[in-house]
Structures are given as C-alpha cells and as structure tokens.
Amino acid sequence: MLPILACGAGIYVGLHFNILALLPLSVLGAGAYIVSAWANGQDLLDGLAVVALPIVTIQVGYFLGLTTRPAYLQLRTRLNIRHSERV
C-alpha cells in the first residue's frame, strides 16, 4: 500500500511542481519513516533499507507525472473551454 501511495504522491508532484519539490518530499518522507522506525525500536540500518522502496516509487511516480504533463494540460484546457457569448 505504501508504494502505491508514494507513486501517487510522485505523480501529483510531477504534474504540478518542478524538480525542487521532489527533493524535500523525499527527504521529509524518509526522515519521518526513519524516526518512526527508530522510536519503535528498530535499528537504523533496517530503517534505511526499508526507506529505499518508497523513495524509488516517488521518483517513478514523478517521472510518470512529468511524461503525462502535456496530455494532462491539454485535457484540462479542453474541459475548461467555454462557448463564447459574443454575437
């Protein structure tokens, strides 16, 4: 479930933000997970090993978001077209 959520977050970031938004998202997410694992009594190395999968899936989702950005923007413009009321 976590990789799916991470991929969805990466897609959202890829569609709406630039590359500088991906770095803080990855660092904050990894830091939160490591602190949570450490608070539950796990070793630091175990926490680092498990963090690799969500970071990779966030980056894959970001790449998917970047590659679908032109199609997404075209779809948004088509849906927001209103008929002109000029005579």
The model carries a pTM of: 0.64
Listed as ranges, residues in the chain with pLDDT below 50 are none
The boundaries of the domain holding residue 81 are 1-85
In this structure, are residues 85 and 64 in contact, taking their beta carbons and an 8 Å threshold? no
Q: What is the pLDDT of residue 7?
A: 82
Q: What is the pLDDT of residue 29?
A: 76
Q: What is the pLDDT of residue 56?
A: 83
Helix, strand, or coil here: 59? helix
What's the domain count of the chain? 1
Residue 18 to residue 77: CA distance in whole angstroms: 20
Residue 74 to residue 13: CA distance in whole angstroms: 18
End-to-end CA distance of the chain: 54
